[in-house]
Structure formats: structure tokens, C-alpha cells
Amino acid sequence: MERRIWTLATITLALMLAMTVFSPRLFAEGDLNGKNEKSTEQYIQQLTYTFYLLMQNYVDETDPEVLFDGAMSGMLDSLDDPYTVFVQDLFLQDLNDTTSGQFGGVGLYIATEIYDEENPRGRLPYVRVVSPIEGTPAYKAGIHAGDYIYEIDGETAEGYTSDEVSDKLRGRAGTSVNVTFLQEGGIKYNVDIKRAVIEIPTIKYETIDEIGYVRIIEFTPYTAERFEQAVRQFLKSDCTSLIVDVRGNPGGLLDSVVDVADYFFRDGVIVSTKSRVESENEVFEAKRGVLVPEEWPVAVLIDQGSASASEILTGALKDRDRAVIIGSTTFGKGSVQQFLRLDDNAIKMTTARYYTPSGVNIDQTGIEPDIPVEGHELGEEEFESYKVLIEENRIGVFVRNNSTPSPSEIDRFIADLAKEDIILDDYYLRVMIQNEVNRRLDNPPVYNLEYDDALKRAVEEVRK
């Protein structure tokens, strides 16, 4: 009883504190006649009354923590914002692990989205893979950006939030988790993924003849420094142009991407953020001076796995005519979140949206390329063949048995597939095989010009 009274007192104090902290700013944005402020007080009174009513009169003795967690989750869910969520204490440790640069898990960046097997615009929520982290167990298992998490250890993941999925995927390094993934068109495939300590990579770079090629994997505290090292090496190598690849880049730190973008401009806007609280609006401008020579042609590679901070860089370079954008439309995350601690829990809340230099917010729409380079378009017959390959993991099995397959072994494998009426475009099949081979290498090549159409087009453009 004493614990219940103390918990209730804590909750009441938290509500009073929330009103003290947020009222002067947020309530001031309401109607001037005070109507919103009055109704807010009434809602809080009713919420408090209902809480006490359930504690004292519900047929079964009720845990106040359960009521509190349910009320908080329901309140934030009503905003219909997948990035505004109630974060319980078990997730906060995950957050600390992630921001420190390494954590235990399978290596997926995820976000809550809506998917329906029969109607993609329906209302069944599943968590979607934004991108696998390069070199991690999920990456090596062949998980793709855009796949949906359908089941975890045999239990449906329908209705799970990204935090709930994250909690189930994480665990002690060396243990395994069984996950069923869902792709557009109803394709399902199942994999056992062994958890590992995940280290967040940031940049890889190489030269393609006279072109500097840099792939930004994620924007971390070290990205700007590594990007500067790459460009200085390109300058020493007599490069005359630059390709920046942010495909599969899920984002990262705002300060990091601003610092990278700053290397392209002498001055002017890189990105701006706008909030309901006017004093928290910010405009980020270039300040440090140009590192990438202004006469260098620049191309940026994007895809549906390019999100958040990678879209900020893309938007700045596109809006200010500093680069040609090549690939497919980006993910579309144009909002800013903050964590607000509540004792052992927290609220992750969308507090602002960011805007490209031309004043565009790309949330839920993404950035379209100047030059579209889409993947192979599957016909109906090809789709059925593709479905068999994915669901039966035929390519994965082939590469597992032939870690570095020779051209003749690949030719024979494709011929064997054709005998089973599994027919796909020959080039597309070879791309899938090469990607599977690279995923399994400890040190995969930085780029593969033979099987990367978007990169081929970027090379053509900067050489013009």
C-alpha cells in the first residue's frame, strides 16, 4: 500500500512538473481566449480521477505502473507519429549502448510503418527495415531495406512498435533469434540471425581512376573527420571529381551531417529546423570554408534506405545546385526527435521538422533523384521466380557452398535454375549472386562498378 501511495504521488508530481515545464511555452500557442488552457486542466483532472478510480474500485488489484505505462503509450500513440513514443527503462539502456557506438544485436535500423499483404495502403502495422548495418549479422544474412519484420521467434510482430521489436532482436552476443521477413507482394522468408556486438561504421572510400568515391555509411561523431581525410587523400591523388554514396544510410547526428555539408559551401543555408516553439527554430549555415574544390563535379547516390541525415546532405547539395542526384527516391524522414526523461522512463518526442535550403520538408515523401536509376522491373513470371529464390534462399545456399564462385560455376547455377523454370534476367541474377558473395566477405570491395548501374551512371555524369 505504501508503494502504491508513493507511486501515485510520484505520478501526480510528474504531471505537475510537466505542466510547469511545458505550460509557459506550449500552452501559450493555444487560443488567446484561454479556452485551450481550461480544457487542458479538465483533461488532466479527468485523467487523474480515472487513475484513482481504477486503483480503488477495479475488480482486480491493479499495478499502478501498468496503468501508467498504458496511459502514456496510448496518449502518444494517438498522435499517429511513429517517432513519438513512450520509452521504458529497458529501452533506455539500449539507447545508451547505441549512441556509444556499439551495442549487442543483429544490426538493423528500423521504423514503424503500415503494411497489408492484400492492400499495401491498408492499416496493418509492421516494423520496416530502414537499412541493415554494413558488416553485421543482418547484413550478411541478406536482409534488405524495405523488408518488413513479420514474426520474431514464431510470434507475430503485427502491431509492435520499433522499440518493442528492437528489444526482442537485441540480446547477448552469440545467441540467435529467428525472424520472418515480409516483402512487397507477400514474399516471406525466414532466417536465423546470430547476435553480435554491433560496431557502427561511418565511411569507406576509394578512387575510381580520376574520381574520388566516398560511401558514408552513417553520420556519427567521427564522420566529418573521416570525410575530410578522404577528400584530402583524393586531392593528393589528383582526383578531379567526387561521388558521394549515401545509399542505405539511415541518418545519424544532425551536427555531423551539417559539418560534412559545410565542406562543400563557403556560406549559406545547409538546413533549418522549425518547431512550435519559436525560440527553438534554428538555421544551420556553412561557416568553415570549402574543402571539396568548387570546380569538381559532384554526384550523390541515393535509394529508399537513405534517411534523415543523409537526406539533409542530399537536399542541401541538390537545392544549391552543387551535385547531381542519382538513384531512387529516399526514405522520407524529415523530423527531429528529442528524449525527455521521466524518472526511469522517457518520452521520445518529435519536436521539430527540418527543411532543405529551398524550404521543402521531405517527411514521408523523400527526395527524388535528378536521374532515376531504378532496380530491375520484374514481370509477373519473373516475380514468381524471384519469390522462389527468396523464400527458398537458393542464392544464399549456392554461395554458402561456393564462397567465391567462378564464372563457370555461376553459369552452371543459372542454367540449373532455368531447367526448373526459374527464369530471371541474366544480368539481374548475376547482381544478386555478386551481392550475396560480397555480404559474406570480411572485407568486401568498397564498390563494384560491374554490377552497380547507379554508380556507372554517376561515373558517366561526373566525367562529362
Say how far apart CA 160 and CA 164 lie, in whole Å: 6
Cell of 129: 527495415
DSSP label at 122? S
Q: CA angle, 213 as apex, 211 and 217 as ends, to 5°? A: 170
163, 259, 319, 452: the catalytic one is 319
162, 241, 272, 308: the catalytic one is 308
Q: Name which of 262, 221, 261, 225 is nearest 244 in CA terms.
A: 261
Task: Name the CA dihedral angle for 192, 195, 196, 197, rounded to a multiple of 10 degrees.
Answer: 150
Q: Name which of 353, 363, 345 is nearest 95 in CA terms.
A: 345
Cell of 403: 564462397
**Residue 310 contacts residue 323 (beta carbons within 8 Å):** no
60 labelled catalytic: no
Q: Name which of 228, 219, 296, 299 is nearest 262 in CA terms.
A: 228
Say how far apart CA 122 and CA 186 lie, in whole Å: 14
464 labelled catalytic: no
**Residue 258 contacts residue 271 (beta carbons within 8 Å):** yes
End-to-end alpha-carbon separation of the chain, Å? 77
**What are the φ/ψ torsions at residue 333 (nearest 5 degrees)?**
-115, 100
Range list of H helices, 243-350 = 254-262, 309-319
- How many helices (H) and strands (E) the chain has is answered by 14, 19
140, 318, 333, 348: the catalytic one is 333
333 labelled catalytic: yes
**Can you tell me which residue has the cell 570546380?**
295
Say how far apart CA 425 and CA 389 lie, in whole Å: 13
C-alpha to C-alpha distances, 412 to 84, 349, 406, 408, 418, nearest whole angstrom? 51, 54, 10, 6, 10
The strand ranges marked E within 68-147 are 85-87, 102-105, 108-114, 125-132
Say how far apart CA 265 and CA 292 lie, in whole Å: 8
List the catalytic residues.
308, 319, 333
